[in-house]
Amino acid sequence: MATETPPPATPGTTLPTAEEFTQVQQSADFAELRRAHRSFAFPLTIAFIAWYLLYVLLSSYADGFMGTRVVGNLNVALVLGLAQFLTTFLIAWWYARHAATELDPKAAAIKSRMESAE
């Protein structure tokens, strides 16, 4: 829930004004940060949704294929279902790594410049 109350400032610092936030939002550095996030998150989100929908469609319409035994009592449906969980964890790990190496340094640089401009 959004409120009009700004976050508490650390002692000895002032919060940037709305104009300063707008200026940073229109800067090339912020555009690069936004591009780095979007170029990673959007394609991966689309790919995961497509992968999930493929699993749902196969489960609904390809009973024979999904019921094919792989090893013992494990069938294709169970293997693909477990792969959904594995994919989720891999994407979360990959995003955390991407954020730590690509996004966080850019965001920290922007934050540092905003704090030093005060």
pLDDT tens, 67-81?
Answer: 999 999 999 999 999
Amino acid at 25: Q
User: What is the average pLDDT value for the chain, to the nearest integer?
Assistant: 90
Given the structure tokens 């749902």, which residue do they identify? Answer: 56
Q: Say which residue, 80 or 116, is predicted with more confidence.
A: 80
Give me the percent of the chain exceeding a pLDDT of 90: 74
pTM for the whole structure: 0.77
SS3 72: coil
CB 33 within 8 A of CB 110: yes
CA distance 77 to 74: 8
Question: Is 80 exceeded by the pLDDT of residue 2?
Answer: no
DSSP letters spanning 49-65: HHHHHHHHHHHHH-HHH
| Count of CB atoms situated within 10 Å of the CB of 102 | 16
In this predicted model, what pLDDT tens digit does every residue of 13-52 receive, in sequence order?
677 788 888 998 999 999 999 999 999 999 999 999 999 9
CA distance 67 to 54: 15
